Amino acid sequence: MTRGALLALALLPGPAAAQALTLDAGIEARVRVEELQDDAPGSDRWLRVLPHAQVEVGPLRLFVQGIATAAAGAPEPGPTDTTGIDLLQGHAALTLTTGGADVTLRAGRTLIALGSERLVGRRYGANVPRAFEGAMLTVSRGRLNLLAMALRPVRVGRGDFDDRADPSRWLNGVQAQWSGRPVSVDLYWLDDRRAAIGARASLGVRVYGAQGAWRWNWEAMRQRGEVEGRRIRAWSLASETALVLDPLTLRLRAAIASGDRSPDDVTAGTFDPLYPKAQYFGELSPIGPRNMINLHPGIELALDERLTVSAAAIAYWRHRRGDGVYDLAGLPLTGPGGSARLIGTQVEVGAEWRARPGLSLTGAIARFRPGPALGGPTQKLVAVEATLTL
């Protein structure tokens, strides 16, 4: 990326290249501590430091962000826990205006958050965010925004400077976004390909906006393709509706993600969230959005400009008894079979204190009680997180 960025800078036309450079730099540091109580209680600690630098000259912007992480307490830290010292982002973006539209080409390594991050997210809540390498083309005119992308997810290594684009996975897609009042609409198509596994195409629509005290964010997704010789017929519906009665916000989230009728037939019905955000259903999120029905009411209270407290209750059911229960990464927690549908229930209480600009403290207490479809011990989580941004 560095060579390409320098070449792009060198090729800028004379008047643009002669413009003054704009420099910006900063750093974010985060410490997170979790106390988890289940059949193997323990304390986990994570440290993340994200320094960044940005240079702008004319229509060209160069952005570099490093990452340094450490994890302790987990028996085997995984790719979401630590990556040592590495390059998190490094890309060049060139923006030109033509025909009344802004056209931006971005190439390199970058973080991406599409819509509500239900299918493609930054995974920012985890210690190691998810990056992609490739190119993105954006065309914006008025309320219409068009996006095309050709990307590979970055595979996190255990050592320093060993994160690389995964040669066995590809993510291509297009998105059209219309921003209106009171309703905005996203339409998108994503093509996810994995070598020796198959290809999955996701077609989705998201409707969101605000009117008076009401806020909404509803999304429908349909998946087709083939995986391990089986044809894909999967889908998901997700919604969030909120009523804002300042300083109180009442919120209801509900979702359903399709499951598989039988592992022995030719149709794969399990919905795949592809590259979702972390902490999908809250701080303690043992269940992923596969073969699941979810109901999630919550309340949020702003005590003042700096302090916000919240509480939520969550219930999970299996969509299909012929399918298992999965975690957020897609690993099975239990296999198919049985007559029980209730996966479990969860309660969570949290608080965020914005001590001053750039410094915030968050805390949460959560409890997950497994239902008959899952079994196992009750999980209790206490999490504290401090973030400093300069």
- Report the pLDDT value the prediction gives residue 74, as an integer from 0 to 100: 64
| Dist CA 357 CA 361 (whole Å) | 12
The number of domains in the chain is 1
Pairing of strands 144-155, 214-227: unpaired
Residue 361 lies in a domain: yes
Write phi, then psi, for 246 (nearest 5 degrees).
-45, 125
Q: Which residues contact 314 (CB under 8 A, 6 or more apart)?
A: 281, 282, 294, 295, 296, 345, 346, 347, 348
Residue 138 CB coordination number (10 Å): 19
Give tens-digit pLDDT for 15-49.
444 567 899 999 999 999 999 886 556 678 999 99
Q: Specify the amino acid at residue 99.
A: G
Is 97 within a domain?
no
Residue 18 has a pLDDT of 52
Give the integer Cα–Cα distance in Å for 53 and 199. Answer: 37
Range of the domain at 312: 213-390
Is residue 9's pLDDT more than 50? no
142 within a domain of the structure (yes/no): no
Residue at 357 is within a domain? yes
Percent of the chain with pLDDT over 90: 82
Q: State how far the Cα of 241 lies from the Cα of 189, in Å rounded to an integer.
A: 24
Is 308 contained in some domain?
yes
In 3D space, the residue among 278, 256, 221 whose CA is nearest the CA of residue 343 turns out to be 256
Question: Kindly report the CA angle at 83 between 78 and 88, in degrees rounded to 5?
Answer: 125
Residue 375: partners with Cβ closer than 8 Å, 6 or more residues away: 334
Q: Average of pLDDT values for 248-263?
A: 96
- pLDDT of residue 6 exceeding 60, the answer is no
pLDDT at 1: 45
* Rounded Cα distance, 372 and 279, in Å: 23
Tens digits of per-residue pLDDT, 189-212?
Answer: 999 999 989 999 999 999 999 999
User: pLDDT tens for residues 71-126?
Assistant: 988 677 888 999 999 999 999 999 999 988 999 999 999 999 999 999 999 999 99
- How do 230-245 and 267-268 pair as beta strands? parallel
- What is the arithmetic mean of pLDDT over 246-265? 95
SS3 state at 239: strand
CATH number at residue 346: 2.40.160.100
Q: What is the mean pLDDT of the chain?
A: 92
Closest CA to 170 of 203, 208, 207, 132: 132
Specify the pLDDT at position 19. Answer: 64
* pLDDT, average across residues 341-350: 96
Does 137 score more than 90 pLDDT? yes
Does residue 156 belong to any structural domain of this protein?
Answer: no
**CA pair distance 5, 19, nearest whole angstrom:** 17
Q: Is residue 270 part of a domain?
A: yes
The answer to whether residue 217 sits within a structural domain is yes
Nearest to 92 by CA among 49, 132, 59, 130: 59
Phi, psi for 77 (deg, rounded to 5) = -55, 135
List the single range of 9-23, 305-319, 322-336 with lowest mean pLDDT.
Answer: 9-23
